[in-house]
Structure 1
Amino acid sequence: MKVDRVLREFVEECKKRFGENLVSVVLFGSYARGEQKKTSDLDLLVVVKDLPMVWSERKKQFEEICESLSKKYGKFIEVIPITTKELRKNLNKKSPFFITFVLGHKIVFDDGTFKKEFEKFSLELSKKNFVYYEGGRKWEIKKEALKYLH
């Protein structure tokens, strides 16, 4: 399976569905860190300017795209859909979910918003002494965050 091909098709389908409202598509998790296994899914953060408030309604907007690509490529796709406002709010609160993004992520599509907001977030994290543990591994978040500052 060619991950880049799946990601490219995913972005194209999202552009068709959301048009100018599509802000960012970001790969995170094991594939972004290069630690994927045969059974790993593709974890995607999708930032859209406006989404329904109800989580199940949000997820429904991506069902057809994910199911189609999953069947075509034999790889499950997990989407976390959020709005631009929620992205900023979670980064400002230093959400543990986003702290893991300093361990590795790949911007697949971006209008500049994610990159800009994540750089501000990384700058803040570089001033803290957070430690993240997962699967018996330990990461110094301050050191990891410095990689995203230019």
Structure 2
Amino acid sequence: MRRMSVERSATIEQIVREFHQRVEQALGTPVKVVLFGSRARGEATEGSDIDVLVVVPVLDARVEDLIGDLAWEVGLNAGVVLAVVPVAQDELKVLSQSPFFQAVQREGIPL
């Protein structure tokens, strides 16, 4: 399997930034977006998805659906899969004790 090139890395960052902007525009509020997983670790291959943590002020079904729809649209236009994990800001403290969120904190790249 091939690793992601530096040029492709810049493209991934552009895709995540576009997604980030579209989420903020749709919600009308700032959100935090963190790239994690194989793309953040530099271990991605050509078929790897793009793992993104999205921290929003309030997470309800409408916001979760909106984030999922935007991830689908941006990913479809870019020819990649955006795998998003939406989380409410007030849940971060509790979730930060889980191995998953500890890994995101270690390897994640805020964008």
The reply on whether 1:75 has 2:83 as its aligned counterpart is no
Q: 1:96 to 1:58 in 2, by over 3 A?
A: farther
- Name which of 12, 23, 33 aligns with 1:3: 12
Q: 1:10 to 1:97 in 2, by over 3 A?
A: same
Structure 2: give runs of 5+ residues left out of the alignment: 1-7
The reply on whether 1:29 has 2:51 as its aligned counterpart is no
The reply on whether 1:101 has 2:104 as its aligned counterpart is yes
- Name which of 83, 89, 93 aligns with 2:94: 89
SS at match of 1:45: strand
- Name which of 40, 46, 49 aligns with 2:54: 46
Instruction: Please give the root-mean-square deviation of Cα atoms over the aligned residues, in Å.
Output: 1.6
Displacement of 1:84: 0.7
Runs of 4 or more, structure 1, over 3 Å off, are none
TM-score normalized by the length of structure 1: 0.62
Structure 1: give runs of 5+ residues left out of the alignment: 109-150
SS at match of 1:44: strand
The reply on whether 1:13 has 2:22 as its aligned counterpart is yes
Identity %: 31
Q: Is the 8 A contact 1:70 1:77 kept in 2?
A: yes
Q: 1:35 to 1:103 in 2, by over 3 A?
A: farther
Larger radius of gyration: 1
Q: 1:81 to 1:102 in 2, by over 3 A?
A: closer
Number of matched residues? 102
Q: Is the 8 A contact 1:24 1:48 kept in 2?
A: yes
SS at match of 2:80: coil
Q: Is the 8 A contact 1:25 1:44 kept in 2?
A: yes
